[in-house]
Chains A and B, each alone.
Chain A
Amino acid sequence: MNPEKLKILRRHNIRKKINLLLLTLFIFAIAILYFSPILYMFLTSFKTEHQAVSPSLIFKPTLNTLKMVLSDANMFRYLKNSLFQVFFTTLACLVLAVPASFALVFGKFKKRNTGEKIYVWFITTILLPPVAVIIPLYTWYQKFNLIKSPMGLLIAYIGFHVPIVVWMLHSFFKDVPKSIIEASEIDGCSRFRQLVSIAIPLVRTGIISSGLLVAIFVWNEFFLGFNLTGNSTATLPVYMSRFREQQGMFVAQLSASSTVAILPAVILGWITQKSLVKGLTLGAVKG
């Protein structure tokens, strides 16, 4: 190769590298700008109330505001209520939906398309907006004093999130080869054994990702939580909505509370985004 050509090639390479650098900077500028409200909130939670009045980025960080928010009895109650709802909704949804979606894929019913029909029914309940149910639920809950018990909201959450798990798991179970299940049936394996020892280990990823999706949804859910709870049972999103009246006051305290409220879901979301994509797109694109 003559030196002239080498020179051109090298220059070409340098230009390629500069382009890559510019593209990287551009992508990161956009990403950081997009994320900046959350980042700024996170930083402000390390400010004192006095420092938070001016939106400066250079300040001496302190843990006092965060400590104050976390030791607040109110905040602790909401946090506890949220954790209760997330844990038991996720658990109950999986206990109900895993066998159900397994039966929808592998069960045998009198009519062949029964499984398909029930699956479609589950999907249509996902489409139902919560306003459709809130009026009777609200009147029942008031009447039977369910707003004072965490069980009230829990039942509503379970009812609304089981269909989502069924929808996601359905596509995962469909990927389990039918021949394995049929072979085990010939060997005299009961349905329960098929589910526990064959199917569940094979769709483990699906179970985990749909469980985490439900956990994130419940943690962030506002509409039902707001309408079906009283003071003692309200969850964190309801707590956050109470800050709406305070115009610009207590910015540091507000930021610290927001940080506590959103961090678990954001971190959980980041950890699971890959499996969420898989679950959502498989469930949706395959239909």
Chain B
Amino acid sequence: MKKEKDWLFLLPAILVVAVMTQVPFILTIIYSTLSWNLSRPDLPIEFIGFENYLYYLRIPEFPIIPEFYSIFWQTIVLTVSTLGICAVAGFLFSILLDHQVPGINIARTLIMGPFFVMSTASGVIWKTTIFNTTFGWYGVISKSLGFTPVDLLSYHPMAVIIFLFSWQWIPFFVLIILAGLQGISGDVVDSMKVDGANWFESTFLIKLPMISQHVMVAIMLGLIFIVKEIGLILVTTAGGPGTRSYNLPYAVYMEIFNGSQVGRAGALATMTVAITLISVNVLYRIIKKRSASFE
């Protein structure tokens, strides 16, 4: 067996992935050190070092915190609360769906539905058929109860986005956690019954620790995918009012497509990637540590 031949199996895949992901990423980092305005081709493209980063990070007048920090904070709030809600609700739903009742597969299938819906469609559906103050369910029901419906999208944009993100991602958590619950052997369940463990004990003290690995994996994968998401923000609040429901990827998108500032967008994108990779890495280490302690 020639050893070179195994490389032939690998090279095309490596080449495509490298050209489409690694090379552009390195270029993004290079761009982040340039002063480059797409809408002003008359200005030269110059190397300006860390100036683009400082543009976001600098706090010129101390009590006034620049926009970058609030967007950064919103990204954290958005991601952490979504993942938290998904983990808790995903676990509770999984416990519920782990029962052997007639038609359970239909119930599981229904819960799974939202995960496969494209985010722009789910945003548009919720916005028009539910949150709309005149035509939507929310508007109609609150009027019939005697309340004046407020435009939730402009008054509570973050809460709405977190809610919609959770609606879409809870099924994914259920998918993984339920697999974990079903992997718990019948012996364990039987001995719990024999020992007289009540529902609370058996669920939270025995089953939860046994599937904590699955919960962590769901959180890690969820983080990777949720950080990418801008479609839902775009169709529901368009980041508004102002920048109150921006997340970092959305800010990058606005910087390049509305501001045409390639260098600044590059700096913002690089920081976004750095933050994402660091958080994923931390989560991964926690998972590795836990699985090591189980062995």
Contact = CB atoms under 8 A, between A and B. Distances in A.
Most buried by A among B23, B121, B136, B137: B121
Contacts of B256: 134-135, 138
A248 B136 contact: yes
A110 B6 CA distance: 11
Interface string B103-133: 1101111111111111111111111111010
Nearest to A277: B179
A284 B218 CA distance: 9
Given A97-B13, A131-B253, A38 B125 contact: yes
Nearest to B6: A107
B13 A96 contact: yes
Interface string A236-254: 1110110110111001001
A58 interface: no
Contacts of B116: 216, 220, 262, 265-266, 268-270
A223 B231 contact: yes
A23 B99 contact: yes
B141 to A, nearest CB: 9
Given A159-B21, A237-B119, A266-B116, A131 B269 contact: yes
A247 B252 CA distance: 26
B119 to A, nearest CB: 6
Interface stretch (A3-11, A65-73, A122-130, A202-210): A122-130
A250 to B, nearest CB: 9
B273 A132 contact: yes
B146 to A, nearest CB: 18
User: Interface SS of chain B: helix, strand, loop or mixed?
Assistant: helix
Interface in B225-248: 227-231, 234-236, 238, 248
B194 interface: no
Contacts of A261: 118, 121
Nearest to B252: A131
A81 to B, nearest CB: 14
Nearest to B249: A131
A269 B115 contact: yes
Q: What class of interface size applies to chain A in its complex with B? A: 35 or more
A27 B99 contact: yes
A170 to B, nearest CB: 12
Contacts of A265: 116-118
Given A27-B97, A131-B269, A244 B21 contact: no
B113 to A, nearest CB: 5
Interface residues of B, number: 101
Given A240-B120, A265-B116, A248 B175 contact: no
B20 A155 contact: yes
B148 interface: no
A225 to B, nearest CB: 9
B145 interface: no
B126 A37 contact: yes
Nearest to A107: B6
Interface in B11-60: 12-14, 16-17, 19-25, 27-28, 31, 38
B96 A102 contact: no
Given A133-B24, A254-B128, A255-B125, A126 B224 contact: yes
Given A24-B101, A31-B111, A244-B234, A55 B118 contact: no
A158 B269 contact: no
A212 B23 CA distance: 28
Contacts of A37: 114, 122, 125-126, 129-130, 167
A31 B179 CA distance: 18
A102 B137 contact: no
A226 B254 CA distance: 13
Contacts of B180: 281
B213 interface: yes
B33 to A, nearest CB: 13
B78 interface: no
A230 interface: no
B176 interface: yes
A214 to B, nearest CB: 13
Given A20-B101, A159-B16, A287-B288, 13 more contacts: A55-B137, A99-B9, A129-B224, A130-B228, A132-B272, A134-B256, A136-B23, A136-B28, A136-B31, A191-B9, A195-B9, A266-B116, A277-B176
12 contacts: A23-B101, A55-B137, A96-B12, A100-B9, A122-B17, A129-B273, A130-B249, A191-B6, A241-B120, A246-B128, A261-B118, A262-B118
Interface of B: 1, 3, 5-7, 9-10, 12-14, 16-17, 19-25, 27-28, 31, 38, 93, 96-97, 99, 101-104, 106-130, 132, 134-137, 140, 167, 175-176, 178-180, 213-214, 217, 220-221, 224, 227-231, 234-236, 238, 248-249, 252-253, 256-257, 262, 265-266, 269-270, 272-273, 276-277, 280, 288, 291
Interface of A: 20, 23-24, 26-28, 30-32, 34-35, 37-38, 40-41, 44, 52-55, 96-97, 99-100, 102-104, 107-110, 118, 122, 125-139, 155-156, 158-160, 162-163, 166, 185, 191, 195, 216, 219-220, 222-223, 226-227, 236-238, 240-241, 243-244, 246-248, 251, 254-255, 258, 261-262, 265-266, 268-270, 273, 276-278, 280-281, 284-285, 287
